[in-house]
């Protein structure tokens, strides 16, 4: 069992409320069909809006069409 001193630093994941999930790379992403894709980038943007043509990676398509927010309760 690893001690506190030999544990790797936790990988930081940042959630953009209107955009991608930013993950410190490199990463290997397993898709629902079992295939994997990888990126060696320092920071990897994973699409959370499902509009990307490069899914699972963000291609900034989320910027062109903002996600609709539910109406505020009255």
Binding of ligand FES by 47 (CB under 6 A)? yes
Give dist(CA 30, CA 27) in Å, integer: 10
From candidates 3, 61, 70, 73, binder to ligand FES by CB under 6 A: 61
Binding of ligand FES by 51 (CB under 6 A)? yes
Q: Could you tell me which of 60, 51, 67, 53 has the C-alpha nearest to residue 22?
A: 60
Q: Assess contact for 50 and 37: CB atoms under 8 A.
A: no
Binding of ligand FES by 48 (CB under 6 A)? yes
* Residue number, 42 or 74, with CB nearest to ligand FES: 42
């Amino acid at each position: 069992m690893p001690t506190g001193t030999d544990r790797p630093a936790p990988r930081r994941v940042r959630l953009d409320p209107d955009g991608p999930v930013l993950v410190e790379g490199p990463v290997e992403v397993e898709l629902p069909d079992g295939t994997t894709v990888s990126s060696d980038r320092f920071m990897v943007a994973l699409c959370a809006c499902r509009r990307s043509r490069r899914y699972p990676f963000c291609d900034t398509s989320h910027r062109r069409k903002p996600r609709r927010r539910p109406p505020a309760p009255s």
